[in-house]
Structure 1
Amino acid sequence: MQLTDVTIRESAQMPGRSYTAEQRIQAGEAIDSLGVDRLQPGFPAAGEIEREVVRELSSRADAETVAIARALEQDVEAAVAANADVVEVFAPISELHLKHDLGKSRDEVLEMMDDALRVGRKEGITVQLMILDGFRTENEHLLQVFERFDDLRMIGLADTVGRRSPTSVRSTLEQLSSHVDIGRVGVHFHNDLGVGSANVLTAYECGVSNADLSIAALGERVGNPALEEIVAIGDLEYDDSFGVDPQRLIPVADEVIDALGEEISARKPILGREATTHEAGLHTAAMLDEPSAFEPFDPSRFGGERTLIFGEGTGRGGARKILESVGIKPNKNTIDDFLKRLSEQGPMDREDAQQLAEDKAF
């Protein structure tokens, strides 16, 4: 499975955001250094900043630069003019969206897709499709698109409102696989039900060719599947990091977040401060001997660091190990006294706790 990073485009759709072209380009170059296959930085028909970002990244990035376009000839022309490597035409064919979004028939939308793709082909640019609301579209209508556009290298299915679960994703993809090459299918999920990453992994197990991902899950509403989660799980569970350099994962994600001026929760998986910070007495005592006892992965594997915190929550086992680490033979009194001092002066990291233990006043 290849990865398309959609951080730059999706993050700009979050409420109240107004990133400069420079911010987006800086973030895009950082993401490109990870080794993702494609960057999807913008929608050229939407404005000059979008066009500038696509132009700049198409000339600077090693990854293919994908510009999105509605199923309108002028949108594709704008993407071509922005020097995108790939144009992804998007449109819905579900009953819900045809009626309440476009107000057109399915046949009319299929003709619009034809016309838009024809412009891209004429210009000699790679074209692909993204079917909006694809995971709520009846299978017979999805097959109609795959058969009609059988020359496209990839047709994507979007879970546009984040409504699907791994079970329904697997069901849709398995039904499709009976009729089409699943290696032509890409997926685009949203995380509204909290299962975006799980849906991507399900699609990966089904054999799809591409997944759209976003650093720190930045994206509209509650975001898209997090690139760092998929790469970390892939590396740990499937021995597949999808061409991404795992050691660069956390540092690059931090660069992107800084470039965009965003903040993430301390409890964000992989990237959050508390994801690799431990204070509970039982945990820190065991981790002083063997970190994997209470840790899902060594943070250094993905370019991060672990932090052990000592303070009010430190237990007797942890206090004993700190005292022993600086050459003090612990007994009940020294442990009690040290725990009292930790409670009063903590929380602190391991080095400061050892310094406290060595304090002559102790």
Structure 2
Amino acid sequence: MSMWNVEICDVTLRDGEQTPGVSFTCEEKMEIAGLLDGIGLEVIEGGFPAVSSSEQEAVRAICRMGLEARICALSRAKKEDIDAALDCGVDMVSVFLPTSDLHIRHKYGRPRDEVLMEAMAMVEYAHDHGVEVRFGAEDASRTDPFFLLRAYREAVSHGADLVTFTDTVGCLMPVEIRAAVEEIIPSVSVPLCIHCHDDMGCATANTITAAASGAFQLHTTVNGIGERAGNAALEEVLVLLAMKGGISRYDLSLLHKLSETVAKAAGMPVARNKAIVGAHAFSHESGIHIAAILKDPETYEYVKPALVGCERTFILGKHTGRHAVRHVAASLGYDLAEDEITWVLAEVKRRSEAKCAVTSELLHEILCAAREGGRQ
């Protein structure tokens, strides 16, 4: 298995917080940053200091935590934004500029060359203050390719250490991301970062495709939260890096705890069928599946639950078989005879087909009735 040359920059505390209705307290940001650092991520984007004094204080607090990860702050190509980031003590300033004609026309109303060179002065300003500088091209996916490459080269000549390709509106699919990355990498002398949004459901796939195509820094958010449909999900990207990219340096066992922490702080429950961290990600109901899993979990589990801090669960319902009933009953301390298993199975199917959830409490009632001979 080949090993991709990548690092992770998690942007949960900045882009993730731009999810409508989401706002993290300073304490919540610090807790999340600590977990991200515990996993072993290389870069944590702590926030957008120019937004407010409280945002600046939160970024400053994260910088003072003594984490192993480099701490980054977002900044527009404005001196006051960069000063606010520098004042926090960050390791990296991410200076972004809209580069598509669409954005430049509506945000600036001036020639793009003029806008670009003003921004380059700010890239140089940040570089002159001794921090790592990342230049981000906002709406890169809809930018004139020739102008995009020019912007990257100008950024490098003005001191940028990294450049970012941002699929701001999530309009690309993997084959397009591959083509863009393969064109940019030979043309720019610094590492390329990839920042994908999920408007068409391709953010994780696009991010991993970019990594396989040579992109270096991958941007993610926990649970895939973020503007509109969100960003590439950290937990999905990390598992894919481990399973497909030969990268084993991250502690994936913290992913479930991290997911729950962010979901609680954001007030956004994770979808039950969410990959890796959803409640049903390692749950099984089908009798055929459970019978096979009891013999060998690999039959229906490509990712091991323990790898990401989760546990396998069996859910009894209309698709359940005898093997599952026997296993679940035994795990709960019920040693049932064959006729009792037959009755429990029929009762579970009857309840579930009536759209009644077979909760743990109801299951105990059914099992007790079977064991005590109270079957109707």
Give your verdict on TM over 0.5. yes
Aligned to 1:45: 50
Distance 1:322 1:198 in 2: 36
Aligned to 2:3: none
Distance 1:11 1:121 in 2: 26
Out of 108, 113, 125, which is 1:119 matched to?
125
Q: CA offsets per residue over residues 134-161 of structure 1, 9 Å max, x none?
A: 1221221122123223342201010111
Aligned to 2:30: 25
| Poorly superposed stretches of 4+, deviation over 3 Å | 316-330, 341-346, 351-358
Q: How far off its partner does 1:167 sit? A: 0.9
Aligned to 1:347: 358
Confirm whether residue 236 of structure 1 aligns to residue 248 of structure 2: no
The SS at the match of 1:192 is coil
Equivalent residues in 2 for 1:106-145, closer than 5 Å: 106-145=112-151
Aligned to 1:152: 160
Change (3 A) 1:339 1:82: same
Return 110-119 or 184-193, whichever deviates more. 110-119
Out of 267, 286, 304, which is 1:280 matched to?
286
Return 53-62 or 308-317, whichever deviates more. 308-317
Change (3 A) 1:68 1:313: same
Distance 1:29 1:317 in 2: 42
Aligned to 1:218: 225
Query: How many equivalent residue pairs?
Result: 358
Cα-Cα RMSD: 2.6
Distance 2:25 2:330 in 1: 53
Q: How far off its partner does 1:28 sit? A: 2.0
Distance 1:196 1:3 in 2: 15
Confirm whether residue 65 of structure 1 aligns to residue 74 of structure 2: no
Change (3 A) 1:317 1:160: same
The SS at the match of 1:19 is coil
Q: CA offsets per residue over residues 302-324 of structure 1, 9 Å max, x none?
A: 11111112244322453466689
Confirm whether residue 203 of structure 1 aligns to residue 210 of structure 2: yes
Q: Which amino acid aligns with 2:47?
A: G
Distance 2:370 2:125 in 1: 74
Q: CA offsets per residue over residues 114-148 of structure 1, 9 Å max, x none?
A: 22123212322221200001122122112212322
Q: CA offsets per residue over residues 290-311 of structure 1, 9 Å max, x none?
A: 2222223211111111111224
Q: Which amino acid aligns with 1:265?
A: A
Confirm whether residue 336 of structure 1 aligns to residue 342 of structure 2: yes
The SS at the match of 1:23 is helix
- The answer to whether the 8 A contact 2:9-2:42 is kept is yes
Q: How far off its partner does 1:192 sit? A: 0.3
- The answer to whether the 8 A contact 1:10-1:220 is kept is yes
Return 196-205 or 6-15, whichever deviates more. 6-15
- The answer to whether the 8 A contact 1:185-1:209 is kept is yes
Q: How far off its partner does 1:268 sit? A: 1.2
Distance 1:195 1:92 in 2: 22
Return 292-301 or 212-221, whichever deviates more. 292-301
Q: How far off its partner does 1:71 sit? A: 0.7
- The answer to whether the 8 A contact 2:344-2:366 is kept is no
Change (3 A) 1:215 1:355: same
The SS at the match of 2:13 is helix
Change (3 A) 1:158 1:297: same
Out of 293, 297, 303, which is 1:297 matched to?
303
Confirm whether residue 36 of structure 1 aligns to residue 44 of structure 2: no
Confirm whether residue 184 of structure 1 aligns to residue 187 of structure 2: no
Q: TM-score, normalising length from structure 1?
A: 0.90
Distance 1:201 1:83 in 2: 31
Aligned to 1:175: 183
Distance 1:186 1:244 in 2: 19
Q: TM-score, normalising length from structure 2?
A: 0.87
Return 200-209 or 99-108, whichever deviates more. 99-108
The SS at the match of 2:295 is coil
Equivalent residues in 2 for 1:83-122, closer than 5 Å: 83-122=89-128
Q: Which amino acid aligns with 1:199?
A: N
Change (3 A) 1:5 1:324: closer
Aligned to 1:165: 173
Q: How far off its partner does 1:112 sit? A: 1.8
Distance 1:320 1:3 in 2: 44
Q: How far off its partner does 1:258 sit? A: 2.5
